[in-house]
């Protein structure tokens, strides 16, 4: 009887141990399964990162927007060109009148027209071009890559253009901008340089005193309203082309230097 009880007891222990072992085994299998899945996930992520970095170093187009740990390069700033539309928002400037004293041609209308044509011609160029009024507040301390002030001379029967930079200690860039105008404006317009009519108002132009000294600047008298009236109105595209070529000449040289 006693032996029988011991046997039953031993059998009970063995079956409990076996149940415990089977639970243990199943838990271990679960744990191993989980570890395997985590390793698989990490491997896939690593492969993805390696693939992306390789694509970026090979400069593949689809990878350019997916920089990992690298800042996007910022584009260089675009050159800023400012045109002063002579007399804009101030007065009419020089005028031509008929025998009844009616104004037939006003300098301010000519400068507005040419400035707008220059802006239209430079649309799409790698520069930002803005038109300022004659006494624009933004001239104070202006930092720009080029400033060209557009004017036309009085209604006399002379013909020719003239341009000037500041008289007071001009910079090398001022001289280069003026040289580009002298190089391109006559060819585009057919106008010759008109000597001896550069006035104090040109070389001591108010804008030269307001802008930053580092801003290359010139004032251009595009022609005489009298002798060059037909060119300044009917041939305004050629006038604008001369200014555009001069600005391009100057900025291309600046970029190359
Ligand atoms: Zn003027």
**Contact status, residue 149 vs residue 86, Cβ threshold 8 Å:** yes
Please give the distance, rounded to the nearest whole angstrom, from the Cα atom of residue 232 to the centre of ligand 1: 14
Which pLDDT tens digits describe the chain residue by residue (257 residues)?
Answer: 555 555 555 566 555 655 555 665 667 777 777 878 877 887 778 788 777 777 666 666 555 555 555 667 787 789 999 999 999 999 999 999 999 999 999 999 999 999 999 999 999 899 999 999 999 999 999 999 999 999 999 999 999 999 999 988 899 999 999 999 999 999 999 999 998 777 777 888 999 999 999 999 999 999 999 999 999 999 999 999 999 999 999 999 887 77
Residue 115 phi, psi (nearest 5): -60, -40
Token pair of 114, please?
């040419």
Which pLDDT does position 132 carry in this prediction? Answer: 98
**Contact status, residue 158 vs residue 223, Cβ threshold 8 Å:** no
Q: 43 — alpha (psi -120 to 50), left (phi > 0) or beta? A: alpha
Please give the distance, rounded to the nearest whole angstrom, from the Cα atom of residue 125 to the centre of ligand 1: 28
Which pLDDT does position 70 carry in this prediction? Answer: 62
What is the distance in angstroms between the CA of the first residue and the CA of the last residue of the chain? 113
Please give the distance, rounded to the nearest whole angstrom, from the Cα atom of residue 11 to the centre of ligand 1: 118
The reported pTM is 0.72
DSSP string, 143-189: --SEEEEEEEE-SSS---BEEE--SSS--HHHHHHHHHHHHHHHHHH
Which pLDDT does position 74 carry in this prediction? Answer: 82
Closest CA to 111 of 137, 92, 138, 139: 92
Please give the distance, rounded to the nearest whole angstrom, from the Cα atom of residue 152 to the centre of ligand 1: 6
Please give the distance, rounded to the nearest whole angstrom, from the Cα atom of residue 87 to the centre of ligand 1: 6
Closest CA to 225 of 90, 87, 95: 95
Please give the distance, rounded to the nearest whole angstrom, from the Cα atom of residue 128 to the centre of ligand 1: 24
Which pLDDT does position 46 carry in this prediction? Answer: 79
């Amino acid at each position: 009887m006693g032996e029988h009880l011991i046997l039953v007891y031993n059998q009970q222990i063995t079956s409990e141990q076996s149940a415990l072992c089977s639970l243990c085994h199943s838990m271990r299998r679960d744990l191993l399964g989980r570890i395997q899945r985590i390793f698989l996930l990490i491997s896939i992520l690593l492969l993805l990162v390696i693939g992306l970095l390789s694509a970026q170093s090979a400069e593949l187009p689809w990878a350019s927007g997916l920089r990992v740990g690298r800042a996007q390069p910022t584009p260089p700033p675009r050159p800023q060109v400012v045109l002063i539309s002579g007399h804009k928002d101030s007065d009419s400037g020089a005028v031509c009148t008929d025998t009844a004293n009616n104004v037939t041609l006003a300098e301010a209308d000519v400068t507005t027209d040419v400035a707008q044509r220059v802006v239209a011609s430079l649309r799409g160029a790698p520069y930002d071009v803005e038109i300022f009024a004659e006494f624009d507040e933004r001239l104070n301390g202006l930092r720009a890559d080029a400033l060209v002030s557009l004017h036309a001379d009085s209604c006399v029967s002379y013909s020719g253009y003239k341009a000037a930079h500041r008289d007071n200690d001009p910079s090398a860039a001022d001289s280069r901008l003026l040289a580009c105008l002298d190089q391109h404006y006559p060819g585009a317009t057919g106008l010759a340089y008109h000597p001896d009519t550069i006035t104090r108002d040109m070389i001591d132009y108010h804008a030269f005193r307001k802008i930053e000294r580092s801003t290359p600047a010139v004032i251009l008298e595009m022609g005489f309203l009298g002798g060059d009236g037909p060119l300044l109105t009917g041939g305004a595209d050629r006038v604008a082309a001369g200014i555009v070529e001069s600005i391009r000449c100057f900025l291309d040289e600046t970029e190359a230097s």
